[in-house]
C-alpha cells in the first residue's frame, strides 16, 4: 500500500493504519528531544548508526545519568552532527 498526502502536505494516511507524522514533523519532534536533553545538561557520548537511523547515547555531565534517543530522520542526524562539530 502507499501513503497519500493530504492537501496541507503535513499529515498522511498510511494504508488504513491511521494518521502518521510527516517527515518534517518527525524531524521537529526529534530536534526538540535533542535540544531538551542538551538543555538539561546531557552531552552526546556515543552514536551508533544502522539502516534504521542512529542511536544517540546522551550522558549527563554531573550525575552520569544516561538516555538513548533513536533518531530516524536524515535531517535530525544532520542536526546532531552539526552540534558535534560546533563543540
Q: What is the DSSP string of 46-74?
A: EEEEETTEEEEEEEETTT--EEEEEE-SH
- Given a cut of 80, whether residue 46 has pLDDT beyond it is yes
Rounded to two decimals, the pTM is 0.74
Structural domain boundaries, residue 82:
3-86
- Rounded to whole angstroms, the Cα distance separating 59 from 20 reads 30
- Whether 57 contacts 47, CB under 8 Å: yes
Number of domains in the chain: 1
Q: Which residue would you say has higher pLDDT here, 46 or 19?
A: 46
- Helix (H, G, I), strand (E, B), or coil: what is residue 9? coil
Helices 23-39 and 74-86: crossing angle, nearest 10°?
30
Tell me the mean pLDDT in the region 47-76.
95
* Confidence band of 80 (pLDDT split at 50, 70, 90): very high
DSSP 12-57: EEETTS-EEE-HHHHHHHHHHHHHHHHHTTEEEEEEEEETTEEEEE
pLDDT of 8: 37
pLDDT of 85: 93
* Confidence band of 6 (pLDDT split at 50, 70, 90): very low
Amino acid at each position: 500500500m502507499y501513503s497519500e498526502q493530504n492537501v496541507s502536505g503535513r499529515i498522511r494516511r498510511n494504508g488504513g493504519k491511521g494518521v502518521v507524522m510527516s517527515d518534517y514533523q518527525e524531524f521537529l519532534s526529534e530536534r526538540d528531544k535533542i535540544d531538551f536533553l542538551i538543555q538539561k545538561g546531557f552531552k552526546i557520548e556515543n552514536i551508533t548508526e544502522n539502516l534504521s537511523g542512529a542511536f544517540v547515547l546522551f550522558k549527563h555531565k554531573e550525575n552520569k545519568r544516561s538516555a538513548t534517543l533513536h533518531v530516524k530522520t536524515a535531517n535530525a542526524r544532520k542536526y546532531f552532527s552539526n552540534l558535534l562539530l560546533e563543540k
